[in-house]
Amino acid sequence: MSELKANCPSCGGSVVFNAGSSIVVICPYCRSAVARTDRGLEDLGKIAEVAESESPLKLGLKGVYRDARFELTGRAQMRHELGGTWDEWYATFSNGWVGWLAEAQGRFYLTFYQPMQAGTTLPTFDGLQLGEIIAQIPAQSPLMVQERGRATYAAAEGEIPYKLTPGEVFEYADLAGKNNAFATIDYSIDPPWVFVGSQVILDEIGLGDAKPVKREARDVAATAMSCPNCGGPLSLTAPDQAERVTCPNCGGMLDVNNGKLKYLKTLRPPENAPSFVAPIGAEGAFADGYKYKIIGAVVRSVTIEGIKYYWHEYLLYNSMIGFRWLVHSDNHWNFVVPVNPADVTPPQYIVKLQTATYNGKQYRVFQDAMAVVEYVKGEFYWRVEQGETVRAIDYVKAPEMLSQEISPNEINWSLGTYMPVADVEKAFGISDLPKPWSVAPNQPFTGRFYYTWGMLPLIGLLLVAIVMLPMTSITRTAKNQQIVLPEFTAPPPTGGPGQIQFSEPFDIKANSNVRISVQAPVSNSWADIDVDLVNDQNQEIESVNVPVEYYSGTDSDGSWTEGSTSSDATVSSLPAGKYTLRIEGTWQDWQKPMPIQIKVEQNVNRGVNFCIAFILLLIMPLLGIMRKLSFETARWKDSMFTDSGSDNSDDD
Amino acid sequence: MLKKLYLVFGMGVIALYGTASWFGWEVANSGSHSRLGVPFFYSGFHGGK
């Protein structure tokens, strides 16, 4: 490092340029930005002291990146045109590199100047399109324009490696790529400078130890103030990041400018909007393992077919993590985290369905509407306005909802995860939250078990049936005999006794069903045969009735037949033993004898037990599938997009 | 809880099916003289009509 000691041209105090790369040093006595030029030192003007922030970083911290040691030698604080500030720390490396470590909302981005090849032309600031891939910038993955905006050099300290002019407004664009790739285009210079790097965590760059000290200390930090409108007390939970706060006493919206409050207007909640159900200040532990505090709440709405639909968004804050959202809509809850836009594959039409892909998952478009801020309460890290409008597109894959918000200068993606009411109640330690009455766009279906794992018994039944098949389905004929029932001498009375014959004895085996088949030479007539299976050992009887009838003829439609010349009856298994058939019959042509062929079989596979078991086990999976279909119908009925992918917002 | 109950029920149905198949018990379509009126198990009916 080449050290240069000089006197401040403004106050005469001693200033030191420690790093050879330093162009500007902030005079520690008079806060002048002192630039070294070919002609000597130049006073660029006074610059404000950096606003107190809860950054874990500070000047002089030393770290390591890719085996190169660096030291934080300077810091500039930029103010976004829409409010909010971020810090840029200048890392002077021992090998001569200069890195830019940007810190915004708890995230860190380390970038380095990337010289562009001769002849490369970047899009102009005005020509930049959000979401556009800037292929001219060499990087590991394509870089997409995530944000474009204007910012002001608001404050600085230490040494700065470029000519920082206090109060200067500059244009910039932030780009993001997969795997945390990150880049910035600085349009304050012509041609614009490009800085390429990645999002980092402090551990990766040897600054992990810096993190806990200040961050833990600020966990409960709150700054007490009074409302300039009503004089009532109010406090800021994240004073270094708050841009807007509403007074809890008078409802006035206040602008927070470096801790100075300015009354803007008094807000009134919309008449038809539901009331907030969670209070500002409530703290809860969420699924990501962190405890968050509700510091702000927003009522937003979309208008579809002339009807306004409201929902609530609670801004959650944890000093270690930053900001998250808890969205409450129709009494459904979602925990929302920001996602890197570059990790989202832009929406595309797959078989007419618009889908976006994130983390390898496809999300299906649900709604595309203009979302309006109707009312706000609490504290916010941007200059929230009543009436602020963005285009909001929601994609769903339960239990997640991927949301894209498009404003003129920024595209943001976020991922909401459905939270059952019980989980929200548990998080906040309450028990009286209203219950939902409808199906949320990303509400998971909880009855999936019955048609997934619930199919296991059915599969088990099939396996058992396959195993049992050889044992139960090899039919054995126990008796096959022709028996002639003699003719009646007089017409048999209805229900009276019939002619009786006995078969020869035969063996019946245990544990097998018994089928008795009767074949009778009936033609346009009937025969009613009662068969008793008589156990020869103990005279126990099992009786079956086998009616046989067969009719045929011809009419205008042609020939027809009805019934059959054979019929059968089956009984459950009988005790093993010797049996005799007692056959008693009556028949229509009583004047003639009735020769019948009677057959006794065992192990007949009728499948009746299987069918009954199958139907029993099918009931729950079937009900599950029906519930699922009904659930999905309810989920998509409020969508602007149908299965066919066409916009059905005009439908009833 | 309901899921466990359903699985227990399912296993019960399979067990009953397997047992019935093994012992030849069957929901019969005849055997009207069963004492229980359910022609499933052998009735051991004594006597005629």
For the whole model, what pTM was predicted?
A: 0.70
From A382's Cα to the closest Cα of chain B, the distance in A is: 47
Section B18-40 average pLDDT: 66
What pLDDT does residue B43 have? 52
- CB-nearest partner of A572 from B7, B17, B25: B25
What pLDDT does residue A645 have? 39
The larger pLDDT score, comparing residue A314 to residue A56, is at: A314
What pLDDT does residue B34 have? 41
**Cα-based angle A555, A558, A563 (whole degrees, multiple of 5):** 80
From A572's Cα to the closest Cα of chain B, the distance in A is: 5
Looking at every residue in chain A, the average pLDDT score rounds to 86
| Strand partners for B38 | none
Chain B residues inside the 8 Å CB shell of A474: none
- Inter-chain contact A511–B47, Cβ cutoff 8 Å? no
Q: What is the dihedral of CA A44, A46, A52, A55, to 10 degrees?
A: 10
Interchain contact B38–A (C-beta under 8 A): no
Q: What is the pLDDT of residues A94-114, one digit of tens each?
A: 888 889 999 887 778 999 999
> Is residue A324 within a helix (H) or strand (E), and if so which, with residue range?
strand A322-329
Q: Is residue A223's pLDDT more than 70?
A: no
- CB-nearest partner of A450 from B6, B47, B49: B6
- C-alpha distances (whole Å) from A510 to each of A367, A514, A538, A572, B15 are 67, 10, 15, 10, 20
- C-alpha distances (whole Å) from A561 to each of A282, A524, B28 are 81, 9, 27
What is the share, in percent, of chain A residues with pLDDT greater than 70? 94
Interchain contact B44–A (C-beta under 8 A): yes
Cis peptide before A399 (omega within 30 of 0): yes
Section A475-492 average pLDDT: 90
**Prediction ipTM score:** 0.80
What pLDDT does residue A52 have? 66
Interchain contact B42–A (C-beta under 8 A): yes
What pLDDT does residue A577 have? 93
Q: Is residue A83's pLDDT more than 80?
A: no
On whether the CB atoms of residues A402 and A415 are closer than 8 A, the answer is yes
Q: How many angstroms separate the most distant Cα atoms in chain A?
A: 146
Cis peptide before A191 (omega within 30 of 0): yes
pLDDT-based confidence at residue A623 (cuts at 50, 70, 90): very high
- Please state which of the ranges A377-386, A427-436, A439-448 shows the lowest mean pLDDT: A377-386
Q: Is residue A216's pLDDT more than 80?
A: no
Interchain contact B19–A (C-beta under 8 A): no
pLDDT-based confidence at residue A214 (cuts at 50, 70, 90): very low
What pLDDT does residue B49 have? 38
* Number of CB atoms found within 10 A of residue A593's CB: 14
From B4's Cα to the closest Cα of chain A, the distance in A is: 10
Alpha-carbon gap, residue A558 to A553, rounded angstroms? 8
**Chain B: residue whose CA lies nearest to A616:** B13
What pLDDT does residue A54 have? 66
What pLDDT does residue A386 have? 86
Q: Is residue A311's pLDDT more than 90?
A: yes
Domain ranges of chain A: 4-217, 268-443, 474-604
- Please state which of the ranges A10-24, A453-467, A622-636 shows the lowest mean pLDDT: A10-24
Q: Which CATH architecture has domain A474-604?
A: Sandwich (2.60)
Q: Shortest CA distance to A541 belongs to which of A512, A568, A567, A502?
A: A502
- Please state which of the ranges A11-20, A141-150, A212-221 shows the lowest mean pLDDT: A212-221
Alpha-carbon gap, residue A262 to A272, rounded angstroms? 29
- CB-nearest partner of B18 from A468, A539, A545: A468
From B28's Cα to the closest Cα of chain A, the distance in A is: 5
Q: Shortest CA distance to A294 belongs to which of A237, A225, A336?
A: A237
What pLDDT does residue A191 have? 87
